[in-house]
Amino acid sequence: PITPGELLCLGSSLAFSGLFYYMYRRKARVVARIQEAPKLQVDDNLPALVSAAEGRCLPYVALEGIVLPAQAALTSHYHEGLQGVIQKLLLKEHRLIWNSLARSW
């Protein structure tokens, strides 16, 4: 004999497991797309490449190029010859997509 409380616990456990598995698979697809992202160099050809892309947007790319420090480069105390810079500005561009069901962006 199974009590209603046990059925409720079993049902909620299955629902949460399904929800978490769905979220896991969705994030795993995003990670796979990021890992497959093409690597582009920051040069004079980059603006032309972006303007030629569909919607003037490149979904996932890795930009490679030379970074110059604003003042002085940071040097490592533990590894000789290792230098780095601190990123001061981070620009995130989010695309707005119209949701016709919720009637919102």
Domain borders along the chain are 4-84
Eight-class DSSP state of 56: G
SS3 assignment, position 39 = strand
More confident residue, 101 or 27: 27
Q: Which pLDDT score, from 0 to 100, does residue 88 have?
A: 66
Asked whether residue 59 carries a pLDDT value surpassing 80, the answer given is no
Q: Which residues contact 38 (CB under 8 A, 6 or more apart)?
A: 61, 62
Average the pLDDT over each of 27-31, 60-64, 79-83 and give the range with the smallest value. 60-64
pLDDT grade for 89, boundaries at 50, 70 and 90? low
